[in-house]
Amino acid sequence: MRYGFAKLRTASALGCLVGFSLTIFGSSAVAGENGANRAATGTPVVQGSSLTSRSEDDGWVGQVYIYVGGSLPTGTNLLEFRFLFDKNSIGNTTGVITPLLFEYSPVEAYNIYTLVGIGKGFEVTLNAAPQAIPFDVIEGTKATTGPNFTFGYINAIVNSSGTPVLASPGTVDYDNPTDGGQGVAGTGTTNDWVCSGVTATQGPTIPLGTTFGVSGADYGFCLPYRTYSAQAVGVVAAQ
């Protein structure tokens, strides 16, 4: 298997790779934008799993990953996607990430996760320290309107129709199977994540409304659960 970038539409991809300076947390900037300029008043929200070094990175290209271990509070306005990419067990030292927002609904024993927000995608590079990219939507929403919302990402840059224009292998550390204990939001959360696992060489096309689940969805999950070193950061506005 060849684990380089999947150049799905090279000409379009060059236009979509937004120039920016990705910055580690030791600096004050966040992905080409000063962190102070992104400040918002209200209650801070951090959901997901700790940004700790885990056993490997994912060789599957262009997959979708969803945090299923907890929910974002109602009224959360997403600001950042944080992650750790310090492994190159597959051999890639660069890749691409697009943050995503999902709303879920119970269907029998499992949830169905519906894509409601597509963020701006970024090129990222191997780094020993955690990194962050802004959660700036190009289609849909980045704000939760109820209790059943969670976040995720795709290892691709997609256009507003959800079509991948450039894809890569994994750019976030993970453990398989999942880590025990609570997620970063504490009580009532876990470190459970799922992967779309469409094929080993090309991930899914994800227009708004695309669904993911164990059954009865556009795309299924790879089980058992895994744990990815990624977080969503936002704020619930003060009333």
pLDDT tens column, 142-173: 999 999 999 999 999 999 999 999 999 999 99
pLDDT of residue 184: 97
Contact status, residue 211 vs residue 162, Cβ threshold 8 Å: no
Predicted confidence at residue 200, as pLDDT, reads 62
Task: Read off the pTM.
Answer: 0.84
Longest CA–CA span in the chain (Å) reads: 52
What pLDDT, on a 0 to 100 scale, did the predictor assign at position 214? 87
| DSSP tag of 73 | P
Type of residue numbered 5:
F
Residues in the chain with pLDDT < 50?
1-38
Phi, psi dihedrals of residue 35, rounded to the nearest 5° = -60, -35
Rounded Cα distance between 204 and 198, Å, is 6
Strands (DSSP E) found in the chain = 29-30, 33-34, 42-48, 64-67, 76-83, 94-107, 110-119, 122-125, 131-134, 137-140, 149-154, 156-158, 164-167, 174-175, 193-195, 211-212, 222-228, 230-237
